[in-house]
Amino acid sequence: MLPEARGILVRKARQPMKDKPGGFENHLRATAEKVEHALKRFTLGKPPAVPPLLWDAMTYSLLAGGKRVRPFLVLESARIFGVHEEDGMALAVALEMVHTASLIHDDLPCMDNDVLRRGKPTNHMVFGEGMALLAGDALLVSGPGQATGKLKASGRVPAGRILAALQLILDAAGPAGICGGQTLDMEESERSGASPWRIAYWKTAVLLRPCVMAPAYLGGASDKELKCLSSYGAHLGVAFQIVDDILDVSGKAEQLGKTPGKDALQEKNSFVHRWDLETAREMAADQSRRSRTALSGIRRDTTFHEGMVHYLGARST
Ligand code: GRG
């Protein structure tokens, strides 16, 4: 650990789970445990050619905790569309790896320059900037890579569906995905004009869409179902980002696992700074409503996708 990283450790406040058996929060917790096991299995399987330092840097951020919202959405969509749990897990791990890569890069001094993530010192504080950059690169590529290998080996899904799912994930990570969103976000702090709506969509929602759509591709969902999932993921993602903006103002480091108050400091065009807390809450509620409405077009059991809308919305209250 680099000397600067010592002392940057925040115990995350554990939310008490008051839930009935089979309720959303119990299901979320049980799913997060399964995801944790899958991520650990992945990190135990270091290929011999990978330098241990790089593997340590990848593993450090991947196993640092996090709410595991994206894998949850993946596994729920997999269940809804009858995809085998192991195949769903391959995609869930891929999307958590891509997401973790984006967090590592987001925290770098040349980007948001943060020292705290998931309640621990950020990757570059521990491994240095060069290793953090490489750990992000490696997670970004090996996430979809391991999913391809596992899906191919399982032999349960036709190749065309695997390709469609992977294309969706890769597009979401690219220039018309979170790289583009991060560009808008960075430009914005230099006052060049994108609205918080565009930033929220391209920075956050764009990666939630493949979480719900990629497993649906594997399971052979209809065009109508894919359209509904696309709308669900987009509105859920925008609501998620609005809540993230609200928490940046009203949350505490122990709750967030990251440094609050960064948006104002970096003059980000967040929802709260563009409007105000109350308006931002109304906007998040409206996006949540729209995501729930989108689910009504799917004639399958979407209870837990709906539960996620409530769960994410409730974080800001
Ligand atoms: C393709 C590697 C790569 C990078 C692209 C840096 C970057 C460019 C994009 C970052 C975009 C970004 C950080 C968006 C914010 C999304 C967001 C709300 C993150 C917080 O997600 P949570 O709350 O975090 O789910 P946990 O830690 O719980 O997983």
Angle between helices 129-154 and 159-173 (to 10 degrees): 160
Q: Whose CA is nearest to atom 29 of ligand 1?
A: 66
Cα 61 to middle of ligand 1, angstroms: 12
Question: Alpha-carbon distance 84 to 317, whole Å?
Answer: 36
Cα 98 to middle of ligand 1, angstroms: 9
Q: Whose CA is nearest to atom 16 of ligand 1?
A: 204
The tens-digit pLDDT sequence of the chain (317 residues) is 665 666 565 544 444 445 676 789 999 999 999 999 999 999 999 999 999 999 999 999 999 999 999 999 999 999 999 999 999 999 999 999 999 999 999 999 999 999 999 999 999 999 999 999 999 999 999 999 999 999 999 999 999 999 999 999 999 999 999 999 999 998 865 565 678 999 999 999 999 999 999 999 999 999 999 999 999 999 999 999 999 999 999 888 888 888 888 887 787 889 999 999 999 999 999 999 999 999 999 999 999 999 999 999 998 77
- Based on its alpha-carbon atoms, the radius of gyration of the chain, rounded to whole angstroms, reads 19
Ligand 1 proximity of 292 Cβ (cutoff 6 Å): no
User: Which two tokens mark 36?
Assistant: 């944790």
User: Which two tokens mark 304?
Assistant: 């837990």
What ligand 1 atom has the least distance to the C-alpha of 140?
Answer: 2
Q: Whose CA is nearest to atom 26 of ligand 1?
A: 66
Q: Whose CA is closest to 168, among 197, 205, 206, 142?
A: 206
- CA 258 to mean position of chain CA atoms: 15
Cα 289 to middle of ligand 1, angstroms: 23
Cα 234 to middle of ligand 1, angstroms: 15
Q: Whose CA is nearest to atom 6 of ligand 1?
A: 106
Q: What contacts 15, CB < 8 A, 6 or more positions away?
A: none
pLDDT at position 193, please?
67
Ligand 1 proximity of 270 Cβ (cutoff 6 Å): no
pLDDT at position 260, please?
87
Ligand 1 proximity of 119 Cβ (cutoff 6 Å): no
List of E strands, the chain: 116-117, 120-121
Q: In testing the pocket of ligand 1, which one of 203, 243, 266, 287 has its CB within 8 Å of the most ligand atoms? A: 203
Q: What contacts 208, CB < 8 A, 6 or more positions away?
A: 70, 73, 233, 234, 236, 237, 240
Q: Whose CA is closest to 93, among 31, 147, 170?
A: 147
